[in-house]
Every structure is written in structure tokens, then in C-alpha cells.
Amino acid sequence: MEIVKQIKYEPAGVKGGYTDRILSIDLGRRQITIRDLPPDFKNKYIGGRGYAMKLMWDGTSRKTHYDSPENILVMASGPLGNEPGFPGTGKSIVGTISPLTDTFIDSNVGGHFGPLLKLAGFDALAVSGIAQQDVVVAVDGDSGTISIMAAPAYDKAIDEGALSFGQGLLADFNSGEYSDSLAAVTTGKGASNARFGIINSLYYERKRKRVRCKQAGRGGTGTVMRTKRLRGIVVRSSRSKANGNNAVDKEGVRQAGARLREVILEADPKQLHLSAWGTTILSEYMNKFHLFPINNYQYGQSAESSKVFAGVFLDRYFSQNTPDGCYYGCNLACSKSVESVELKSGPHAGQTVSVDGPEYETVGAVSCMGIFDPHFVLEYNWYCDEYGLDTISAGVTIGFFMECFERGFLTAEDTGYELTFGGMEAADRLLHEIANARGFGRVAGQGVARGKKWVAEKYAARKGISRDDVQTELNKFAMEVKGLEFSMYVTKESLAQQGGYGFALKGPQHDESWLIFIDQVHKELPTFEGKANALKWFPLIRTWFNATGLCKLPWIDVRNPEAASTAEPAKNLPTLAYYVDYLNATTGGHKTLQDILDDSERLYILQKLINLRHGKGTRASDQIPLRAMGPAFFNEYESRAEYYDGWLREQLGDTELPASPQQRHELLIQKRIEAYQKLCDIVYEKKGFTTDGIPTRETVAKFGLMDEQAGQLLHQFGI
């Protein structure tokens, strides 16, 4: 490969979880810079998501959009990533200004990239600028070189695919042999043509003797990567992964890790059993409680859902008896895969491929299109990965357009074919059109927020009616907030999770809070106060995981039996105590859980400030579509009329129900809208925000974030 720019460097050692160095690469100027971080940087911004946000706050402005040269693509693990002695330490964060939300997005991804980047000497990698040609970046800790290289040309099919190109890179950089000392991130041509491009994290798994991949799926990080003409990043380090963080108290790390592993070993097989089923097990539970996002979230349950339950994948597809952790030392090992799938459609029809997945979210995304075919799920999964597309946003977007078609807002003249729920052929065709920017795919690749504007304009012109009126109707079922498509849970019956999605700073992704069960099923949050407290606590602790390089699943999806005797079992505090011990043993600190929450709140407020700067930080940006609150249309109400009437009866007390079903539906919707607004008021107060959802000066100052930019920004909002 032709080297465009190269520097030599001496990889910093890791000490207490940190290298205290960031690698900055400006592709436009061909500059490679190593920055030593001041000691207080890590204390204030922790790592991962925190580092990405701080770099974005300082290095970009309101005028920065996803395709601006100054936009930064940050990849960072965190102080607790890269420790095989503790489960779930392979996570890293990709942060950037999103093509979907036009504000900061972060997406976490498993695999070896973050750990190897740290071993190669860097806590974070920040890429800015736009290259003049397609390039690959290589960070080689073994040879002590950092290089920008002209992207290699293999053949067209390989070069356009995220998986195939990544496999080529990993072999190329190691004399044709795969090795677990290397990892790569890549994306495919779909990420050039859609706003919801992903970044694939590829690594070699010795047990399976093949390259596997995980995805930073949300918010269009891959689209930013392609816009920068960055085709891939390869990182190499042969340093020992054992005690990779050079912990201050190695025995403390060992003990904390052993305790967590024991809980997973004992409890997971008795609970969700993620180690056997992966996250696909959730489909069955979601369907039972009307939470499966069928037909664009219209219905939470279907008689057909069982065709895509976990048992189907376990019996017919998943390779068995092989541990599937995405990083060393994780005995939850939920990263399932299917080794041999013959593709039936698309440009690779007839080819046999390995599929990493499916995860629950991909199964949910397919149900969102009204499809319940396990083979379709696998093909959809593989093609999205290869094209570099987010399975969630692609599924929600196609589902939205299917509903537009069925409700008459779109015609076959607009789309080129019948686009209805359950139509596998049409869904498949649209996916390939999105990836290749062909036909209606050019519209669909823009996502739901922009797609609904296109439909409104078309329909209004066709009917000679007001575009705003059409837009209002479309807003009811366009499942996006802040420009990001919803992840795969129906929130109609959980006010707390409506807030979980509406207040999520990146948009409606459940990694900030997932409160559906404790609210809707377990009834542990009966009051607005209780919901608001949960909507403050859970996003803070979950943000901390994203700042430290950790996977949340060993904490949140394996309940420690000791939690049952605590006041709030859902917080799983006995397991969180292991994490606090692990943190202190690694860094040599003396933090409490409250200290961790305070650190996390600083990051939360910083992200809120970035959102405010980019026009996504006020109450208006936290509003959710009607369908997220309840049955947006009468057909949805009718499908569970008895349940909804019961709910209404509870709300009205002695007052009689309206006589007609239509009136009852209208009243129910009115009650749901009122409840959401009341929730906004209470949550903002709890978080130290104004009623418009803006942090007060006291809140910003409390966390040491009142710099000149923050002062001016708040001033603009009259604060």
C-alpha cells in the first residue's frame, strides 16, 4: 500500500487503565499528532464517551455538520476496557456529529479494536478532515509507526463491502495471516449512500478461526467515516492482553472479576441464559408483553412472532458449544453467530457466508417490516453488515414507508413497486436500493425524519392540500426523535420508557435507559416522582459504562441473587459494587458509587450542552411521536380495545367512559399526551433544567463545565 504519510512513535505504556495519550489524525492536512493529556483530563472526562464529547465540544462548533471537514470521528475505549480478568471489557465508543441528528452521537461496539488501540499506546483516536483520496489508517504499536495509506484495491465486490474489505485489510497487514494482535474498523458502500451507515469492528477469533465483527450501529458513524474517505483503520499490538490495564491493585481486579464471573456462571443459566441464546431470547418476552415493534410499532404482539423466537435460531442456525464472547474473559459470551448461510437474494445470491448475529434488535427491525422469516433475518443481518447499514434504522425506515404506502401517502408510482408490511421481496429490494442509492432507496436512505418531509411534500402536491397538515399526520407514526430512529421496543404502555426514549440525549436508543419492565410489568414506578428518579439514575450509570470501556450486560441482564434483598432490586447494586471495586483496583482511586454517578452527570450535562449548541437541547427536541405514547390510530386502539378501556377506566375513576369507541380513543390519547408533558416537567426539575429542558447555570457550574462557550450558549437561551 502506498504510504501517504507516516510517523514513528514510541507506544506509551498503560498505567492504571490509561495511556494518557490521544492520537489525532487530520486526513485533509495529512497531519498525525500525538497529544499528551494533562492529569486532570481523565479525572473530569473519564474516557470513552466522555473523551469523545470533550473533543467534540472543544474542536467543533454549531456550524459543524456530519460532512464538515472539522467534524471529528472519535474512537475510544476507557480505563476499564481491556482486562481479560473481568467480564465485558471489549467495548469502545465511536463518537461524532451525526448525519441523522446533526448533533453528537455515540455508539458503543464490542470487539478488540478499543483494547488493541490502548495497547498500541492511545486512550482515543480522533480523526478529522477529509482525505483527497480513499485512505486507510494504520496504528502499529509493534513497529512503532502510524501511517495514512492509499486504500488498497482488491476487487470491486470486496472493496465495496465492509466485511470483505476488512478481512482483506486484516490479512494484508499481517502477511496474509489473520492474528488476534490486529483489529480493524471498516464500513461499506451503503454508508456512503445512506445516513445510517455503521462502523464494523472486525477481529480474529482463534476458536472459530475466522474474522468476526460487531457493529457501532447507531447514528450514522459509518456515513461520517465514508465522508472522510476513510475506508478502514487497522490497529496492531502484540503486547500481552493479560493485565492489559497495568492495574494498581492486580489482586483487587482479580477478585472483583472472579466475583462477577461467578454470578454470571450461577445466575445467567437460571435467568435469560444469554450465554446460550444471545439477545434473541428477548423477542419472546417482548412479544408476550406487547413490546415487539410489529408493523412500524403498531402492534406489540403477533401470532407469527414465534417463527423468529430464539429457539428457532438456536435449533436451526446458531453454532453451538462454542463460547461467543466478543472479548477475552467474558463468560456471558452472548455474541452468537451462524457459521453457514446460503444467501438467496441480492448481489451475493448463492454465496455461503457467516453471520455475526442476529441480535434482538435485528430480529425486532425485521418484525417492524411485518416479516417473520428467520432466513430473511439472517440475510438482512449479513447484507446490512456488508453494506455498512444500521439494521435498526434501516428496518424502522422501511417500516415507516410501508405504513405510508398502506395509509395511502405513497403510491407505487412513488416507490416503483408495492411496498406493504410483510412483503419480503419489496423489503429486500428496498434494502439493496438504499445501499446502492438507486430508485426509491435514494429517499429511504435519508432516514425517517427526512423521509417524512419528502412524503409530505409529494402527497400535499398530489392532493392539493397543506404540507403542514400532512406532516402532522405523518408525525404520529414517524418513529424518530431528534432525527434518530427508535430502537426496537414499543413504549405505548410505559410512560417511564417514553421518557427513556424522549430524553435520551442521542435520540431514542435504549442504552440510556430501559425501564419498560420495572414500569409496565413490575409496577415499581407507580408515581411520576418514581419515574423521574429512574429517568435520572439509570442514564447516569449507563453513561458511565459507555465512558469506561465496559459492556453493560453483565450488570443489567444478569441479576445478582443478592439484589433481591435490596430496596431497589432493578439497580442490581450488589453487582455494581464489583464494578466500583474493579475501578478502584485498576486506577488506585477511592471512588464510591455516588462519585461515579457524579462523574457521569458531568458528562451528561456536557452532552446536553452540545445538543443545545446544535439545536437539539430543548423541550421541543424531547417530544416523541404519538405512537410512542399510545395507539396513534383507531386500528391500534381496536386491537386492544378492552385493555385500553380498562386503562381509561382507571384514570377516570367514577366518571363514566365516553359512549363511542372513537371518543374513548380520543380521550385516551389526550390523557397520554398530558401525562408525557407532566413527566417532562418533573424530570427537568430533577435534572436541574428549566421547564424548557435547558440546564441552569448552577447545574452547569456544579460540574465544572462553565467555560466561555457554555456561558455564551446559556446566554443565548436567556439563562
Partner 1 sequence: MAQKMTVSIKFLGMQRVVTKKDFINIPLRKEMRVSDVLELVRNLYPDLHLDAGVIFPTVNQEKASLDKLLRANDIISFLPPISGG
Site residues (CB under 8 A) for partner 1?
A: 267, 269-273, 276-277, 279, 281-282, 284-285, 288-289, 310-311, 360, 489, 510-511, 514, 516-518, 521-523, 552-553, 556-557, 559, 561, 563-565, 569-570, 572
Q: Which is nearer to partner 1, 260 or 310 (CB)?
A: 310
Q: Which is nearer to partner 1, 123 or 557 (CB)?
A: 557
Tell me the closest approach of the beta carbon of residue 120 to partner 1, in angstroms. 29
C-beta separation of 160 from 189 below 8 A: yes
Q: Which is nearer to partner 1, 109 or 705 (CB)?
A: 109
Q: Which is nearer to partner 1, 223 or 513 (CB)?
A: 513
* DSSP line for 486-498: P-S---TT-HHHH
C-beta separation of 631 from 665 below 8 A: yes
Residue 445 phi, psi (nearest 5): -65, -10
Q: Which is nearer to partner 1, 445 or 500 (CB)?
A: 500
Best CA proximity match to 213, nearest among 221, 224, 225, 204? 204
Tell me the closest approach of the beta carbon of residue 240 to partner 1, in angstroms. 31
Tell me the closest approach of the beta carbon of residue 313 to partner 1, in angstroms. 13
Q: Which is nearer to partner 1, 85 or 110 (CB)?
A: 110
Q: Is the peptide bond before 38 cis (omega within 30 degrees of 0)?
A: no
* 97 Cβ contact list (under 8 Å, min separation 6): 56, 60, 64, 65, 66, 68, 71, 72, 103, 104, 105, 224, 614
Tell me the closest approach of the beta carbon of residue 572 to partner 1, in angstroms. 8
* 196 Cβ contact list (under 8 Å, min separation 6): 99, 100, 219, 220, 223, 389, 390, 393, 394, 397, 445, 447, 485
Interatomic CA distance for residues 610 and 103, integer angstroms: 7
SS3 category, 378: helix
Tell me the closest approach of the beta carbon of residue 309 to partner 1, in angstroms. 9
Tell me the closest approach of the beta carbon of residue 289 to partner 1, in angstroms. 6
Tell me the closest approach of the beta carbon of residue 286 to partner 1, in angstroms. 9
Question: Within 588-660, where are the H helices?
Answer: 593-613, 626-629, 634-639, 641-652
Best CA proximity match to 49, nearest among 219, 171, 262? 219
Q: Which is nearer to partner 1, 164 or 509 (CB)?
A: 509
Q: Which is nearer to partner 1, 243 or 271 (CB)?
A: 271
Q: Which is nearer to partner 1, 60 or 367 (CB)?
A: 367
Q: Which is nearer to partner 1, 34 or 521 (CB)?
A: 521
Tell me the closest approach of the beta carbon of residue 556 to partner 1, in angstroms. 4
Q: What is the 3-state secondary structure (H, E, C) of 215-279?
A: EECCCCHHHHHHHCCEEEEEEECCCCCCCCCCCCCHHHHHHHHHHHHHHHHHHHHHCCCHHHHHH
Tell me the closest approach of the beta carbon of residue 513 to partner 1, in angstroms. 9
* Sheet containing 182-186, strands listed edge to edge, beginning at the edge strand earlier in sequence: 3-8, 145-150, 135-140, 230-236, 182-186, 199-205, 210-216
Tell me the closest approach of the beta carbon of residue 640 to partner 1, in angstroms. 11
CA angle 393, 110, 703 (to 5 degrees): 85
